Amino acid sequence: MAPRSQDYYAVLDVKKTASPEEIKQAYRRLAKVHHPDLQPESQKASAAEKFKELNEAYEVLSHPEKRAAYDRYGPDGAPGASAPEPPPRARSARPGAGDEEPDFSGFSDFFQNLYGAQDSGASARRPRPGPRRGQDVEAELPLTLEDAVRGGEKSLTLDVPALCPSCSGSGRRGAGFCPVCAGVGEIARPRTITARLPAAVREGARLRLRGQGAAASGGGDPGDLYLRIRFLPHPRFKVSGADLETDVTVMPWIAALGGEASLQTLEGPLRVKIPAGTHAGRVLRVAAKGLPADGGRRGDLLAAVRIDIPDRADARLERLFQEMKEAAS
Ligand SMILES: [Zn+2]
């Protein structure tokens, strides 16, 4: 096994003059790249080694006194460099450890980034003493517009941080880091989650699934899972609040004389009335064919008229167009 690099600045790929924020960002970026959970099976061992190296470097460089000692005396003079303390997440998971170490939010931030969380609530970011609640986790719930109209339940499989079974979340095994989670105390576990869609399904709406977030160490309650609804692009419909926008193709003689046209809705085709004298671009509003809205209502479907000609005009149709041309000029 290669000896670990003792040049902590090189390990984190930062300058000697890097600010604490730069160090933290470099660490997070690299931790995400080298996290053993994210590597194929064959590379997990070497990634874990690299991850430990990162943790060791961060442990020293993120601590003002340890960093100062390291700058002055090198790695041997840095207390804790040869026998690194557990990394921040594992340590702050101990009850009561949080208040003295407000800066050690690196790992929870790291997991928030990893799982796409943006605003997981204050409890995830501001550690309080006492049994620690598991982290809130935020993820996207991708929905087709058809799903949104159908309603009911939607299942998806997510990687949710779970306590590392090997070290029970402490991050330590014996005198060193836990090799399974590389000292993080958590590993990502796929979990299938079933969410009941709300009556009004809106892009960006957050569903809260109580107790479905990350497990807690030390007997705390699990965090919550927030699912943020995201509509998948639809080839035919554009979402505008609860309304849907689309277009409807109308033949020239129907546009001029009035009649019917076929309009696609999320629930299949619908015949709609085209008033006489309809111009291209006119928007027809079909009530209650949009997305589910508050109070059990539905948004509308707005269809912009496109005037088109038939793919193939037979001789008679061509003659009639000719006549129209002459009559209109
Ligand atoms: Zn572990």
The residue extents of the domains of the chain are 1-85, 117-123+132-232, 238-328
Q: For residue 225, how many other CB atoms are within 10 A of its CB?
A: 24
For residue 270, list its beta bridge partners: 263
pLDDT in tens, 180-211: 988 888 898 899 999 999 888 899 999 999 99
For domain 117-123+132-232, give the CATH number.
2.60.260.20
127: pLDDT strictly greater than 50: no
> How are strands ordered across the β-sheet holding 301-307?
238-240, 243-250, 301-307, 283-286
Ligand 1 midpoint to CA 168 (Å): 6
Ligand 1 midpoint to CA 66 (Å): 25
For domain 1-85, give the CATH number.
1.10.287.110
Distance between CA atoms of 321 and 325, rounded to whole angstroms? 6
18: pLDDT strictly greater than 60: yes
Ligand 1 midpoint to CA 329 (Å): 83
Q: Report the Cα–Cα distance between both ends of the chain, in Å, rounded.
A: 88
pLDDT at residue number 170: 87
Bigger pLDDT: 52 or 11? 11
Ligand 1 midpoint to CA 121 (Å): 26
Ligand 1 midpoint to CA 187 (Å): 8
pLDDT at residue number 77: 52
Distance between CA atoms of 60 and 72, rounded to whole angstroms? 13
Name the amino acid, one letter, at 100.
E
pLDDT in tens, 94-114: 333 333 333 333 344 444 444
Ligand 1 midpoint to CA 177 (Å): 8
Q: Which of 16-25, 43-52, 171-180 has the lowest mean pLDDT?
A: 43-52
pLDDT in tens, 84-97: 444 444 333 333 33
Q: Which of 72-81, 189-198, 317-326 has the lowest mean pLDDT?
A: 72-81
pLDDT at residue number 36: 67
What is the residue whose two structure tokens read 């079974």? Answer: 165
Closest C-alpha among 211, 242, 239 to residue 225: 211
Are 117-123+132-232 and 238-328 in the same CATH fold?
A: yes
Bigger pLDDT: 151 or 99? 151
Ligand 1 midpoint to CA 94 (Å): 14
Distance of CA 280 to CAs 96, 153, 159, Å? Answer: 68, 40, 49
pLDDT at residue number 22: 81
Range from 169-173, 189-193, 259-263 that averages highest in pLDDT: 259-263
- Residue 282 confidence class, pLDDT cut points 50, 70, 90: very high
- Residue 15 confidence class, pLDDT cut points 50, 70, 90: confident
Ligand 1 midpoint to CA 165 (Å): 6
pLDDT at residue number 298: 95
Closest C-alpha among 57, 76, 77 to residue 16: 57
Distance between CA atoms of 101 and 91, rounded to whole angstroms? 10
Ligand 1 midpoint to CA 252 (Å): 70
Ligand 1 midpoint to CA 172 (Å): 7
Tokens of 328: 């209109």
pTM over 0.85: no
Ligand 1 midpoint to CA 272 (Å): 62
- Residue 69 confidence class, pLDDT cut points 50, 70, 90: confident
pLDDT in tens, 304-319: 999 999 998 899 999 9
246: pLDDT strictly greater than 70: yes
Ligand 1 midpoint to CA 220 (Å): 18
Ligand 1 midpoint to CA 173 (Å): 7
Ligand 1 midpoint to CA 61 (Å): 23
Q: Over pLDDT 70: what percentage of the chain?
A: 78
Ligand 1 midpoint to CA 76 (Å): 27
Ligand 1 midpoint to CA 312 (Å): 69
Architecture of domain 238-328: Sandwich (2.60)
